[in-house]
Structure 1
Amino acid sequence: MVRVRRYRYVGPAELRDRVIAVDAVAVDSLASLASLDGWLAGRDSRDLTEPVTFVVVLDGVLRLAPRRSEHVALAGGHDVLAAGEMAFAPAGTGWRVAEVTNQSTGYCPDPDCWPAVAEALDRVGLPHPGGFTDRITFRRCPTCGERNIVRDDDFTCALCGSALPARWNLTSD
C-alpha cells in the first residue's frame, strides 16, 4: 500500500488568512468532464497559452483555477494531496494534459505526490503524460527557515547558504 502524504499550506500566512473564492472547476467523475470542457472553452485564448493552477483535495477531487489563483484559495485553505500547474491541449473531441508540474510555493509538494494526480486524472479518463513533465524539489532551510527550490541538485539555501536536507522537510510546524 502506498503511503499518501497530506501537504499543509506552508506559504505566507496573509495569503492563507484571506482565502477568497476563485473561478474554479472540480473534476471528479466522467460526467464532470463536460464541466471541464465548458470551463476550458470559456477561458480567454490568452489564458489557454499558459498552465492553470491545480490541487488534488483530500477526497481525491482535482480542482482547477486560472494560473494567477493561489493554491490555498483553490483548496479552501485545507490540506491537499497534490498541488501544481497543469497545461491542456485539444485531443479529439476533448482535452489532454500536455504538461503538469508540482510547482506550488504555497504547499511545496514533493514529486512523490504524482500518484494522487495520476489517480485523479485516470478516474475521469483525462489523458496525461504519465508523470510530472517538470519536477520541482522543495526544501526548508533548517538554519533560517526559508523555503527553497533546489536547482541543479544544489542543496544550498539561497538565502543563508546553509546545506539543505536531502529528504523533503516542509511542514507547517
Structure 2
Amino acid sequence: MSDVSRSAAYVYVGPTELRQGVTSVGGATVLDIGDLERFLSQRPASEVAEPFTYVVDTAGRLLLAPRRSEHVACAGGEAVLGAGEIGFRRSGARWSAEYVSNQSTGYCPDLESWAAVARSLDRAGIAHGTGFTHAIVFRCCPRCEGWNVVREQTYVCALCDADLPVERTAAP
C-alpha cells in the first residue's frame, strides 16, 4: 500500500462559483529544493515574507500559489490530501517550513492531513516540525450541512445552532 492510498482525500466543499471558475491547476509543483527556490525567486520580497497557499495533490505533490489564491484554483479543482497556508525560512543552504496550517475553508482538511503534508515536505527536502503550527478543527453540521471552524472546543454550528459532532464524520 502506498503512502498516498493511506491518506484521506478531501473534496472541495466551498462556493460552487469558485470551483466552476477553475480551468487548470494554478499551483506550482514543488518536488525538490530547486523547485522551491525557483518559485520563491519569482515572487516579490513582500510576498515571500508571508505564508503561501498550498495543497498536497492526490499524488502526494506539494503545490504552491500566492497567499490570496483560492485552494481550489491551486489544486485545479481536484481533491487534495492536504491544504492550508505555509511559510518558509532559509537558514544557510537549508529550507524549512516555519509556519504550516490546515486553514482552507474550501477543503476543510482534518488534523490527520498533517501526515500527507509532512510526506510532501520530506520528499521535497524541506525541514518541518511535527505538526501544524496553526491547527484548525473543521466540522460539518448534520442539520444544515454548513462547514464550521470549531473555536474554544465549542461544537455548535455557527449557522443554525445545532450541535456539531465531536469526531469528524463524512459530510452529509
TM-score by length of 1: 0.90
Asked if 2 retains the 8 angstrom alpha-carbon contact of 1:22 and 1:65, the reply is no
Partner of 1:71: 71
Q: How does 1:16-31 map to 2 (within 5 A)?
A: 16-21=19-24, 24-28=27-31
Could you tell me which amino acid in structure 2 is paired with residue 27 of structure 1?
V
1:11 and 2:20 aligned: no
Asked if 1 retains the 8 angstrom alpha-carbon contact of 2:138 and 2:148, the reply is yes
Partner of 1:139: 139
Partner of 1:40: 40
Asked if 1 retains the 8 angstrom alpha-carbon contact of 2:25 and 2:75, the reply is no
Asked if 2 retains the 8 angstrom alpha-carbon contact of 1:138 and 1:149, the reply is yes
CA separation of 1:67/1:170 partners in 2, compared to 1, >3 Å: closer, same or farther? farther
Could you tell me which amino acid in structure 1 is paired with residue 8 of structure 2?
R
Instruction: Compute the displacement of 1:4 (Å).
Output: 1.5
Superposed CA offset, 1:98-135 (max 9, x none): 01010000000001011101111111211111210011
Partner of 2:165: 165
In 2, distance between residues paired with 1:24 and 1:74?
4
In 2, distance between residues paired with 1:167 and 1:11?
21
In 2, distance between residues paired with 1:66 and 1:21?
16
Instruction: Compute the displacement of 1:170 (Å).
Output: 4.9
In 2, distance between residues paired with 1:67 and 1:51?
6
Asked if 2 retains the 8 angstrom alpha-carbon contact of 1:27 and 1:36, the reply is yes
In 2, distance between residues paired with 1:57 and 1:22?
10
Per the alignment, in what secondary structure is the counterpart of residue 38 of structure 2?
A: helix
Asked if 1 retains the 8 angstrom alpha-carbon contact of 2:50 and 2:87, the reply is yes
In 1, distance between residues paired with 2:105 and 2:169?
14
Instruction: Compute the displacement of 1:145 (Å).
Output: 1.7
Could you tell me which amino acid in structure 1 is paired with residue 33 of structure 2?
L
1:111 and 2:111 aligned: yes
Per the alignment, in what secondary structure is the counterpart of residue 46 of structure 1?
A: helix
Asked if 2 retains the 8 angstrom alpha-carbon contact of 1:37 and 1:95, the reply is no
Partner of 2:125: 125
In 2, distance between residues paired with 1:23 and 1:73?
5
Instruction: Compute the displacement of 1:35 (Å).
Output: 2.1
Asked if 2 retains the 8 angstrom alpha-carbon contact of 1:10 and 1:170, the reply is no
- Higher mean alpha-carbon deviation, 44-53 vs 99-108, is at 44-53
Equivalenced residue count is 169
Instruction: Compute the displacement of 1:36 (Å).
Output: 1.1
- Higher mean alpha-carbon deviation, 59-68 vs 159-168, is at 159-168
